């Protein structure tokens, strides 16, 4: 029991800080009335009634501000998780462990998974949805702006709890120089049990940081669930009068279905995490051999885990279906069928979890039925792909950066999706399970579809967010590098898997060297593309050409000048009016 104290103390301290923060916030004088929109403090524009500087960002309940906070936080987490990924790929450049060592290798592939899934992908999509969803729906804000703020502010402490091992180790070593007792800090080692936290490894490992990380994951799950509920209520109740269900845009549809999955999947993860904590600290036997058995964990985890992969990818599908028609000047082909396929994926995703467990010795009849449903889920996935292709048919394709991203998505999704269909076939999975083939399969989607969709969105809506234009040539180069880098990094893993290289090993037989080096080279291409993206975003937001005409993508021509752009156009007109009137600071901006 004594060993758990550092973990509990740290999480209690973080929670206390959080409570103190919100108390202080609540007591602050109510000088700030939200003006309902984020207006960049640009020449001639004044923001009214909103605090400025740090106070604004710490106290905001405005959906656009919180959206930006989410995007910023998610990007930071992505860079952290990407550092892990680069550590994995550098270790695998040589067959022996020459660079980081095996303990660290286990730790980085674990934190990589946690960070990317829970703190990068979902927060960034939540941020994008925060920003544009109310505008697309014709709403002033999300249904519960304060819940929105709480959901966001729970994430930074969750991330620190989950990634604590490394932080406490560094802090411990620094403090050890001073005469401060740091035993507790040094006792927390980085977690190395994998993002799936399989028992009995996760119950048998003594490291207290595992408990801290479980608490952090639990907290992030609460945050994600709150955000999802907010989206659901907003979409149901805050739509403008003229937006019936048949007029709801495809991005909002995807966010709605994704949120539905969250409220069924995440509470289950939360409960499973509590059971694991109980097993670890209070002598229960939920996952012990003499109790529920270690396989019970796998069932609970994957009942959450498979819907989770669709929670990750549905917003990306939504962005793709949303932007593609606008970028090729056509209407989305088969809108209704895309909506149906999204819902079908959502429902089916709860019936396929055991395809992650085919090799656990389960009843062959169960295997057959899970195989059938897993194969069936490929149908709605394929419907989307075909509808995207049909949308482009006879379209007016201009190879802008966001369209390049989307073409990249459509290409990698074919490889990523079809490799999944192979894995869903039981006999094939027997050969490929726990090999690099699986790693290749899912990364072709989680890298080839998800970040590409975010990057596409970052270019598409950049003018709305910053009032400026990004560097188009740099953006095109970056999009190409991201798409090509994905293929170069992860297709070698498919081959390595076929050849029999297992996943999660920091050492491997020398015959696998060349393919591993190819994959690592690809990873450096990906890293380069990320740097180019960052440079473009930061530089263009500072000094990019100011946008004068709101119709950046020629949307009016094809009648696709949607609400968020209309809002932007109004902003620009207001600015023009103010500038021509001279700035007396009294004009309102909304």
Q: Where are the alpha helices (DSSP H) in 461-512?
A: 462-466, 472-499
Q: Where are the alpha helices (DSSP H) in 1-45?
A: 5-27
Minimum CB separation from ligand HEM for residue 446, in Å? 5
The footprint of ligand HEM on this chain (CB under 6 A) covers a number of residues equal to 22
| 140-148, 257-265, 308-316, 549-557 -> range binding ligand HEM (CB under 6 A) | 308-316
C-alpha separations of 185 from 191, 192, 215, 326, 382 in Å: 14, 17, 17, 53, 50
Q: What is the largest CA-CA distance in the chain?
A: 79
Q: Exposed/middle/buried for 40, CB within 10 Å: 0-12, 13-18, 19+?
A: middle
Please say which residue, 143 or 348, places its beta carbon nearer to ligand HEM. Answer: 348
Mark residues 18-57: x for contact with Cu ion by CB under 5 A, - for none. ----------------------------------------
Any contact of residue 445 with ligand HEM (CB under 6 A)? Answer: yes
Any contact of residue 433 with ligand HEM (CB under 6 A)? Answer: yes
Minimum CB separation from ligand HEM for residue 429, in Å? 5
Contacts to ligand HEM from residues 376-395, by CB under 6 A: 377-378, 381
C-alpha separations of 164 from 185, 388, 420 in Å: 10, 42, 33
Contacts to Cu ion from residues 294-353, by CB under 5 A: 306
Please say which residue, 344 or 464, places its beta carbon nearer to ligand HEM. Answer: 344
DSSP of 505-558: -S---GGGHHHHHHHHHHHHHHHHHHHHHHHHHHHHHHHSPBP--S-TT-TGGG
Minimum CB separation from ligand HEM for residue 25, in Å? 36
What does the alpha-carbon distance between residue 483 and residue 51 come to, in Å, rounded to a whole number? 41
Minimum CB separation from ligand HEM for residue 441, in Å? 6
Please say which residue, 56 or 503, places its beta carbon nearer to ligand HEM. Answer: 503
Which of ligand HEM, Cu ion, none binds 374 (CB below 5-8 Å, type-dependent)?
ligand HEM
Minimum CB separation from ligand HEM for residue 302, in Å? 8
Minimum CB separation from ligand HEM for residue 349, in Å? 9
Minimum CB separation from ligand HEM for residue 490, in Å? 12
Answer yes or no: are the C-beta atoms of 212 and 164 closer than 8 Å.
yes
Answer yes or no: are the C-beta atoms of 545 and 471 closer than 8 Å.
no
Minimum CB separation from ligand HEM for residue 497, in Å? 10
Minimum CB separation from ligand HEM for residue 371, in Å? 8
How distant is the alpha carbon of residue 1 from its chain centre?
Answer: 36
Answer yes or no: are the C-beta atoms of 108 and 100 closer than 8 Å.
yes
Please say which residue, 352 or 479, places its beta carbon nearer to Cu ion. Answer: 352
Please say which residue, 21 or 430, places its beta carbon nearer to ligand HEM. Answer: 430
Please say which residue, 185 or 354, places its beta carbon nearer to ligand HEM. Answer: 354
Which of ligand HEM, Cu ion, none binds 94 (CB below 5-8 Å, type-dependent)?
none
* Residue of 71, 135, 193, 446 that binds ligand HEM (CB under 6 A): 446
Any contact of residue 312 with ligand HEM (CB under 6 A)? Answer: yes
Answer yes or no: are the C-beta atoms of 467 and 547 closer than 8 Å.
yes
* Residue of 227, 323, 423, 444 that binds ligand HEM (CB under 6 A): 423
Please say which residue, 148 or 419, places its beta carbon nearer to ligand HEM. Answer: 419
Please say which residue, 437 or 533, places its beta carbon nearer to Cu ion. Answer: 437
DSSP of 401-469: HHHHHHHHHHHHHHHHHHHHHHHHSHHHHHHHTTBHHHHHHHHHHHTTTHHHHHHHHHHHTHHHHHSB-
Minimum CB separation from ligand HEM for residue 309, in Å? 4
What does the alpha-carbon distance between residue 479 and residue 445 come to, in Å, rounded to a whole number? 16
C-alpha separations of 71 from 76, 121, 128, 457 in Å: 9, 10, 7, 12
Please say which residue, 186 or 373, places its beta carbon nearer to Cu ion. Answer: 373
Answer yes or no: are the C-beta atoms of 185 and 168 closer than 8 Å.
yes
Contacts to ligand HEM from residues 194-233, by CB under 6 A: 196
Minimum CB separation from ligand HEM for residue 456, in Å? 17
Any contact of residue 424 with ligand HEM (CB under 6 A)? Answer: yes
Minimum CB separation from ligand HEM for residue 312, in Å? 5
What does the alpha-carbon distance between residue 524 and residue 179 come to, in Å, rounded to a whole number? 42
How many residues does the structure list for the chain?
590
Structure tokens at 413: 């999704």
User: Any idea which residue has 């482009």 for tokens?
Assistant: 392
What does the alpha-carbon distance between residue 165 and residue 185 come to, in Å, rounded to a whole number? 8
Which of Cu ion, ligand HEM, none binds 417 (CB below 5-8 Å, type-dependent)?
ligand HEM
Please say which residue, 112 or 476, places its beta carbon nearer to ligand HEM. Answer: 112
Which run of H or of E encompasses 383? Answer: helix 364-392
Q: Is 49 left (phi over 0), alpha (psi -120 to 50) or beta?
A: left
- What residue number has its CB nearest to ligand HEM? 420
Please say which residue, 280 or 355, places its beta carbon nearer to ligand HEM. Answer: 355
Structure tokens at 480: 């190409």
Q: Is 534 left (phi over 0), alpha (psi -120 to 50) or beta?
A: alpha
Answer yes or no: are the C-beta atoms of 81 and 115 closer than 8 Å.
yes
Look at residue 302 and give its three-state secondary structure. helix
Query: What backbone torsions phi and psi does residue 266 show, to the nearest 5 degrees?
Result: -70, -40
Please say which residue, 149 or 445, places its beta carbon nearer to ligand HEM. Answer: 445
Contacts to ligand HEM from residues 342-371, by CB under 6 A: 355-356
Minimum CB separation from Cu ion for residue 265, in Å? 12
What does the alpha-carbon distance between residue 483 and residue 508 come to, in Å, rounded to a whole number? 28
Contacts to ligand HEM from residues 392-421, by CB under 6 A: 417, 420-421
The contact set with Cu ion (CB under 5 A) reads 306
The contact set with ligand HEM (CB under 6 A) reads 196, 309, 312-313, 355-356, 374, 377-378, 381, 417, 420-421, 423-424, 429, 433, 438, 441-442, 445-446
């Amino acid at each position: 029991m004594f060993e758990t104290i550092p973990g509990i103390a740290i999480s209690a301290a973080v929670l206390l800080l959080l409570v103190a923060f919100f108390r202080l916030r609540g007591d602050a004088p109510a000088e700030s009335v939200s003006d309902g929109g984020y207006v960049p403090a640009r020449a001639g524009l004044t923001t009214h009634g909103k605090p400025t500087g740090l106070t604004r960002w710490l106290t905001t309940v405005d959906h656009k501000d919180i959206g930006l906070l989410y995007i910023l936080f998610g990007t930071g987490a992505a860079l952290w998780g990407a550092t892990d990924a680069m550590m994995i790929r550098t270790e695998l450049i040589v067959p022996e462990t020459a660079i980081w060592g095996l303990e660290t290798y286990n730790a980085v592939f674990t934190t990589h998974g946690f960070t990317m899934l829970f703190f990068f992908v979902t927060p960034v999509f939540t941020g994008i949805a925060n920003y544009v969803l109310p505008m697309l729906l014709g709403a002033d804000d999300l249904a519960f702006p304060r819940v929105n703020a709480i959901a966001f502010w729970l994430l930074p402490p969750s991330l620190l709890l989950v990634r604590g091992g490394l932080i406490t180790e560094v802090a411990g070593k620094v403090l050890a120089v001073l005469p401060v007792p740091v035993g507790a800090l040094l006792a927390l080692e980085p977690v190395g049990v994998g993002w799936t936290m399989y028992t009995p490894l996760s119950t048998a490992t003594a490291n207290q940081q595992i408990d801290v990380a479980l608490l952090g994951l639990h907290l992030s799950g609460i945050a994600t669930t709150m955000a999802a509920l907010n989206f659901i209520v907003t979409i149901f109740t805050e739509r403008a009068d003229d937006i019936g269900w048949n007029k709801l845009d495809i991005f909002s549809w995807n966010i709605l279905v994704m949120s539905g999955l969250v409220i069924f999947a995440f509470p289950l993860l939360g409960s499973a995490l509590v059971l694991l904590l109980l097993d670890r600290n209070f002598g229960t036997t939920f996952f012990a051999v003499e109790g529920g058995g270690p396989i019970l964990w796998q069932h609970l985890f994957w009942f959450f885990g498979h819907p989770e992969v669709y929670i990750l990818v549905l917003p990306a599908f939504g962005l793709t279906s949303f932007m593609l028609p606008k970028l090729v000047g056509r209407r989305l082909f088969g809108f209704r069928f895309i909506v149906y396929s999204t819902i079908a994926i959502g429902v089916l995703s709860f019936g396929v979890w055991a395809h992650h467990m085919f090799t656990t010795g389960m009843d062959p009849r169960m295997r057959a039925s899970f195989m059938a449903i897993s194969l069936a889920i490929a149908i709605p996935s394929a419907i989307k792909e075909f509808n995207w292709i049909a949308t482009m048919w006879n379209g007016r394709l201009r190879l802008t950066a966001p369209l390049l991203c989307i073409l990249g998505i459509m290409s990698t999704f074919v490889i990523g999706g079809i490799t999944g269909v192979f894995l869903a076939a039981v006999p094939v999975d027997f050969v490929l399970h726990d090999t690099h083939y699986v790693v290749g399969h899912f990364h072709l989607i989680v890298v080839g579809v998800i970040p590409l969709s975010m990057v596409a969105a970052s270019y598409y809506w950049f003018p709305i967010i910053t009032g400026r234009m990004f560097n188009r040539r740099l953006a095109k180069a970056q999009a190409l590098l991201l798409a090509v880098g994905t293929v170069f990094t992860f297709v070698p893993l498919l081959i390595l898997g076929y050849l029999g290289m297992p996943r999660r090993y920091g050492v491997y037989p020398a015959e696998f060297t060349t393919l591993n080096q190819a994959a690592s080279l690809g990873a450096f291409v990906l890293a380069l593309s990320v740097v180019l993206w960052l440079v473009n975003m930061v530089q263009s937001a500072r000094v990019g050409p100011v946008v004068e005409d709101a119709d950046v993508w020629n949307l009016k021509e094809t009648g696709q000048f949607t609400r968020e752009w209309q809002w932007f156009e109004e902003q620009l007109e207001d600015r023009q009016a103010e500038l021509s009137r001279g700035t007396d600071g009294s004009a309102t901006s909304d």
